[in-house]
C-alpha cells in the first residue's frame, strides 16, 4: 500500500467539466493531488498520514477571490448607504491613516474570513504597507497575488497613497524582492495600477516594462465608473481599454477588476489580448451598473469573481454569484427570453478556474486533477437546504453558502477542519482587529 500525506475518502467531487461525480477518493502528497478516482480503488491503494472521511460530502477546488482589498476589513459596514464620493470621503482618509500594525491586523482577519468561506487564493489590488499583507498570507497559509496601491498623480495627498513615479516602481520592486515566492511559493508580487485617473503615462509604461522583466502580473481597476471613461476620452481621445492597448498594457498578465462600462469593441480588445477580467457583482450592481457578461462568454472569456473587500459585504463568493445570476438574468436574459444567459456551471467555473486563470495559475489551480496543487474545500451538502436534490450542481449554486464549508486545504495542508481553524487563534485575531478599528476611526476622522 502506498503512503500519502492526506487521504480524502468517500467524497463526491466537482469534476473539471463542472459536473458532480459520486463515490470518489483523493490522495494528496507533497502539496499536490497524486490520485483521483473511484473510492474503492483509491482507498485500497493509499494509506494517508492524515485521513478525512468525507461521508459523501462534496470536494471542490478552493475558491479564488480575484479582486479584493485586505486593508478594508477594518472599514466593514462604513461604505454602505453612503452618497458619493466614497473614494474621497472614506477610502482615501481611511487607507492613508493605516499603520503597518493596522494593515497586519486587517489582513489576518481577512484571511481568516476567506479560509472559513472556502476561499484559498486571492488577488489584492493594493494598499499601503503591503509587506504586512504578504506576512499575513504566509502566516495564515493563504495563496495570494499582492501589489502595492500605485498612483503618481491626482488629488490624493494623504500619507503614502501617492508617490513619485520612480518611488511607485521602487516600492513594488522591493516588495517583489522580499516576498516573491514566500510561503513555499504561495505568494506572488504583482504591479498595481490603482486607476487610470491617478496613474501617469510614464508610470504605466514603466509598469508594463517591469512586469514583463520580472514575469509577473498587473492588477488594475478598469471601467469601474463613468468618470474614468470621461477622463480618458478628454485626455487621450480614447476609451480606457483602447488607451491601455496603445500603452502596450493589454496582455495575459493583466487582471482587470469591475469591467462595467465596456463597449462591444472594448470587450473584443480584452479577448484579443487574453486579458483576465474579474467581476465584483454586489459592488458593481450597487454602485456602477451591469457588466456585459454574455458578451464576454461569447468571446470565450470566462471571468473570475471578486468580493471587492469587506467594507460593504461579507467575503462569500456564493453571495456574489447568486447576485450575478439574478442581475444578468434580469438585465440580459429576461428581455430576450434567454433562460441560460448565465448557466450555473459557468458560475462554478468563475469561482474556481476563472480566478485561477486570472492569477496566472491555471495549470496548478482551479480543478481537481492529478498533479495540480491541493487547494481544496469539502462542502457539507447534506443539510435541508441542499439535500435531496434532483440537480446537485444547480442546488449548489442556488443554495450553498460559506457556512457549508467544513474543511479548507491549501497547498496540501488542512488549515480548517470541521469549521475550526487548525493553526490560528480566531478569537484573538478578531479581538485584535476590533482594537485596531477603533484607533483607525479616531485617526482617519471618518
Q: For every residue of the chain, which 3-state class applies, written as one string? A: CEEEEEEEEEEEEECCCCCEEEEEEEEEECCEEEEEEEHHHHHHHEEEEEEEECCCCEEEECEEEEEECHHHHHHCCCCCCCCCCHHHHHHHHHHHCCCHHHHHHHHHHHHHHHHHCCEEEEEECCCCCHHHHHHHHHHHCCEEEECCCCCCCCCCCCCCCCCCHHHHHHHHHHHHHHHCCHHHHCEEECEEECCHHHCCHHHHHHHHHHHHHHCCCEEEEECCCHHHHHHHHHHHCCCHHHHHHHCCCCCCCEEEEECCCCCHHHHHHHHHHCCEEEECHHHHHHHCCCCCHHHHHHCCCCCEECCCCCCCCCCCHHHHHHHHHHHHHHHHHHHHCCCCCCCHHHHHHHHHHHHHHHCCCCCCCCCCCCCCECCEEEECCCCCCCCCCCCHHHHHHHHCCHHHEEEEEECCEEEEECCEECCCCHHHHHHHHHHHHHHHHHHHCC
User: Is the CB of residue 66 less than 8 Å from the CB of residue 354?
Assistant: yes
pTM (2 d.p.): 0.96
Q: Whole-angstrom Cα distance, residue 250 to residue 271?
A: 10
- Residue 154 is predicted with a pLDDT of 78
What order do you get walking across the sheet with 276-279 strand by strand? 191-193, 218-222, 254-258, 276-279, 304-305
Note the pLDDT of residue 160.
67
**Torsion sign (Cα): 350, 352, 353, 354:** positive
Q: Which residues of 400-424 are buried (b: 16+ CB within 10 A; e: fewer)?
A: bbbebbbbbbbbbbbbbeeeebeeb
Q: How many CB atoms lie within 10 A of CB 314?
A: 15
Per-residue confidence of the chain (446 residues) as pLDDT tens digits? Answer: 899 999 999 999 999 999 999 999 999 999 999 999 999 999 999 999 999 999 999 999 999 999 999 999 998 877 777 777 776 777 777 888 899 999 999 999 999 999 999 999 999 999 899 999 999 999 999 999 999 989 999 775 556 678 899 999 999 999 999 999 999 999 999 999 999 999 999 999 999 999 999 999 999 999 998 999 999 999 999 999 999 999 999 999 999 999 999 999 999 999 999 999 999 999 988 888 888 999 999 999 999 999 999 888 899 999 999 999 999 999 988 999 999 999 999 999 999 999 999 999 999 999 999 999 999 999 999 999 999 999 999 999 999 999 999 999 999 999 999 999 999 999 999 999 999 988 888 787 77
Question: 348 Cβ partners below 8 Å, 6+ apart?
Answer: 14, 18, 393, 396, 397
**Residue in 110, 142, 137 with CA at minimum distance from that of residue 426:** 110
Cα dihedral sign for 234, 235, 236, 241?
negative
Q: Residue 92: what pLDDT?
A: 78
Axis crossing angle, helix 426-444 with helix 100-116, rounded to the nearest 10:
140
The pLDDT value recorded for residue 229 is 96
Amino acid at each position: 500500500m502506498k503512503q500519502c500525506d492526506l487521504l480524502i475518502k468517500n467524497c463526491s467531487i466537482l469534476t473539471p467539466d463542472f459536473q458532480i461525480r459520486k463515490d470518489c477518493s483523493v490522495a494528496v502528497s507533497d502539496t499536490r493531488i497524486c490520485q483521483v478516482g473511484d473510492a474503492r480503488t483509491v482507498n485500497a491503494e493509499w494509506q494517508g498520514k492524515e485521513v478525512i472521511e468525507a461521508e459523501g460530502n462534496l470536494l471542490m477546488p478552493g475558491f479564488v477571490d480575484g479582486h479584493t482589498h485586505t486593508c478594508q476589513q477594518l472599514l466593514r459596514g462604513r461604505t454602505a448607504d453612503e452618497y458619493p464620493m466614497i473614494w474621497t470621503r472614506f477610502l482615501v482618509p481611511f487607507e492613508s491613516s493605516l499603520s503597518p500594525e493596522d494593515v497586519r491586523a486587517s489582513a489576518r482577519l481577512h484571511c481568516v474570513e476567506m479560509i472559513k468561506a472556502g476561499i484559498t487564493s486571492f488577488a489584492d489590488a493594493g494598499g499601503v504597507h503591503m509587506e504586512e499583507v504578504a506576512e499575513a498570507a504566509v502566516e495564515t497559509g493563504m495563496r495570494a497575488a499582492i501589489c502595492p496601491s500605485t498612483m503618481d498623480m491626482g488629488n490624493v495627498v494623504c500619507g503614502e497613497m501617492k508617490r513619485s513615479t520612480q518611488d511607485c516602481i521602487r516600492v513594488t520592486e522591493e516588495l517583489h524582492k522580499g516576498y516573491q515566492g514566500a510561503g513555499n511559493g504561495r505568494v506572488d508580487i504583482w504591479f498595481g495600477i490603482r486607476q487610470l485617473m491617478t496613474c501617469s503615462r510614464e508610470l504605466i509604461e514603466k509598469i508594463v516594462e517591469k512586469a514583463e522583466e520580472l514575469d509577473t502580473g498587473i492588477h488594475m481597476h478598469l471601467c469601474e465608473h463613468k468618470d474614468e471613461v470621461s477622463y480618458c476620452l478628454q485626455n487621450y481621445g480614447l476609451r480606457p481599454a483602447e488607451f491601455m492597448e496603445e500603452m502596450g498594457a493589454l496582455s495575459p498578465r493583466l487582471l482587470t477588476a469591475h469591467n462595467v462600462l465596456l463597449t462591444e469593441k472594448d470587450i473584443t480588445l480584452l479577448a484579443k489580448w487574453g486579458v483576465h477580467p474579474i467581476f465584483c457583482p454586489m459592488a458593481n450592481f450597487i454602485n456602477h451598473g451591469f457588466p456585459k457578461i454574455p458578451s464576454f462568454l461569447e468571446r470565450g472569456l470566462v471571468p473570475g469573481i471578486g468580493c471587492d473587500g469587506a467594507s460593504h459585504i461579507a467575503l462569500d463568493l456564493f453571495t456574489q454569484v447568486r447576485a450575478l445570476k439574478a442581475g444578468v438574468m434580469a438585465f440580459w436574459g429576461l428581455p430576450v427570453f434567454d433562460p441560460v444567459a448565465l448557466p450555473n456551471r459557468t458560475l462554478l467555473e468563475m469561482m474556481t478556474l476563472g480566478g485561477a486563470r486570472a492569477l496566472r495559475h491555471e495549470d496548478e489551480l482551479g480543478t481537481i486533477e492529478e498533479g495540480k496543487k491541493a487547494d481544496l474545500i469539502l462542502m457539507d451538502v447534506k443539510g435541508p437546504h441542499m439535500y435531496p436534490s434532483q440537480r446537485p450542481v444547480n442546488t449548489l449554486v442556488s443554495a450553498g453558502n460559506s457556512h457549508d464549508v467544513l474543511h479548507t486545504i491549501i497547498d496540501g495542508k488542512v488549515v480548517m477542519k470541521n469549521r475550526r481553524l487548525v493553526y490560528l487563534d480566531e478569537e484573538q485575531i478578531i479581538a485584535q482587529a476590533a482594537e485596531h478599528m477603533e484607533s483607525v476611526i479616531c485617526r482617519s476622522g471618518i
